[in-house]
Amino acid sequence: MKELGVFNQLAQLAYIPIYHKLLSGAIELDLFSQLNTPVTAEELAEKKGWNCSNTGYLLGALYSLGFLNVKNSKYVNTPETCKYLSSDSPYYAGGFLMTYIQEDSAPMNVPKLVREGPDPSAMDQMNQSLDFTQYGESFRAAQRGCRQQEILSIIRSLSENNQIKNLLDIGCNTGLLGLAVVGDSQDRHGVMFDMPPLVPLIQESAEQMGLSDRIEVKGGNFLTDDIGKEYDLILAVSVMLFAKQNMSEFLKKLHTALVPGGVVVCVGEGIYPDLSAPWDMIMGYLPYMMQGMDMSVKHGEIEEAAKSAGFSRIETRTEILCSGTQDIVIMRK
């Protein structure tokens, strides 16, 4: 975002709410799935029973933003749009976006917070937004598609990939990320671990993917309860924030649970301590920070804790995922 400069950011700021409404509306309509082959606004409106004039305005606006190409009045997805926004694509990101762009999910009255400090009345709503058990299917939609493919790409890039037989997905939410890794090889098995209320949701995910006979679901507190052992791989995606108070001890627990040569893959925020980057992670966590909830994992924080925990080789790379710019920390026993 810095690269745009201050003036370019300000010049576009007034239109961001409309941009948000336009994209979320198109995803809700599943519009992009109708545009894998060229079609005119009139043809699309007639097929779907939509208003012809407004269908044309929507398509034109998306063309102006670069989501669509047009030739002879026929609109069609760009290759990148087809990959990420057509709902039949394995890389579909619409489910993730629709889960996390809900308005007012994290209230933030900036002037009030700056003048008066954290607002206790807003804390309940923000804590509720962290209660993953209440969202069920929407969080499954957020893990399906693009996020599964990103995790698979990370795991397939590991030199140990072919040796992974037994894995743990810790704090797995709906389980779809770990399940994708289990399903990537016929001789893999896994443990999906998260809060007890999520157990039925994880079991249902396994049934949907046809992997119930190759996974075990455990419910509990992964910070304090037994997580099992003899794992070749442990996935820890966006969970290290829950271990911030004693990260070294938590990583020691993961280290102990691995076989010799085992690997832990952490995906986290990687916010620089001086708040210089990455801008998207800072924006995502700013409402919580300003309410006194500094949950974000800082750049280098996992690596320092991993050294104390006894990991012999630590590798970090920063990538733009569908969830934003994040650190991927790979720790080997």
Q: Which domains does the chain have, with CATH numbers?
A: 2-89 (1.10.10.10), 133-332 (3.40.50.150)
The kind and range of the H/E element at 174 are none
Residue type, 317: R
> Which residues are paired to 189 by β-bridges?
166
The span from the CA of 44 to the CA of 55, in Å, is 8
Residue with tokens 């804790």: 305
Question: Considering the entire predicted model, what is its pTM?
Answer: 0.90
Query: C-alpha 5: how far from its chain's center?
Result: 27
- Give CA separation, 93 vs 27, 34, 121, 202, in Å: 10, 16, 33, 20
Closest by CA position to 63, among listed 109, 32, 84, 106 = 32
How high is the pLDDT of residue 194? 96
The span from the CA of 220 to the CA of 226, in Å, is 8
The span from the CA of 290 to the CA of 89, in Å, is 38
Q: Give pLDDT tens digits along the chain (333 positions).
A: 888 899 999 999 999 989 999 999 999 999 999 999 999 999 999 999 999 999 999 999 999 999 999 999 999 999 999 999 999 999 999 999 988 776 555 668 888 888 888 877 665 555 555 555 556 678 888 899 999 999 999 999 999 999 999 999 999 999 999 999 999 999 999 999 999 999 999 999 999 999 999 999 999 999 999 999 999 999 999 999 999 889 999 999 999 999 999 999 999 999 999 999 999 999 888 888 888 888 789 999 999 999 999 998 999 999 999 999 999 999 999
List pLDDT tens digits, range 200-216.
Answer: 999 999 999 999 999 99
